[in-house]
């Protein structure tokens, strides 16, 4: 009689029995973490105001060039 029997198929780990609903047990430290926003609120406001800054810069350049041309 041999001590080791040959393995005929893949070894499958025992599934986690879980709770009454069939959900696997979570680790004690596992908690739901809310998703991180794409950018902090202040940075998001600055990004949203960028087109306004560009429009103001173009308007100032246009006014300055108009005044420079009309002064000659």
Does 37 have pLDDT greater than 70? no
Higher pLDDT, 45 or 31: 45
3-state class of 24 per DSSP? Answer: coil
Query: Is residue 45 in some structural domain?
Result: yes
Mean pLDDT confidence for 63-67: 95
Query: Is residue 14 in some structural domain?
Result: no
Number of domains forming the structure of the chain:
1
Helices (H), the chain: 41-71
Range of the domain at 49: 39-72
Nearest to 16 by CA among 6, 26, 7: 26
Residues composing the chain: 72
Query: Is residue 20 in some structural domain?
Result: no
| Token duo for residue 3 | 């001590």
The pLDDT score that the predictor gives to residue 65 is 95
Query: Is residue 23 in some structural domain?
Result: no
Query: Is residue 28 in some structural domain?
Result: no
Mean pLDDT over the full length of the chain: 74
Query: Is residue 70 in some structural domain?
Result: yes
Query: Is residue 3 in some structural domain?
Result: no
Q: CA 43, 49, 54 angle in degrees (round to 5)? A: 125
């Amino acid at each position: 009689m041999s001590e080791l029997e040959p393995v005929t198929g893949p070894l499958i780990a025992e599934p986690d029995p879980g709770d009454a609903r069939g959900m696997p047990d979570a680790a004690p430290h596992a908690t739901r973490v809310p998703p991180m926003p794409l950018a902090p609120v202040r940075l998001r406001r600055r990004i949203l105001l960028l087109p306004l800054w560009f429009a103001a810069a173009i308007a100032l350049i246009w006014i300055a060039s108009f005044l420079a041309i009309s002064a000659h």
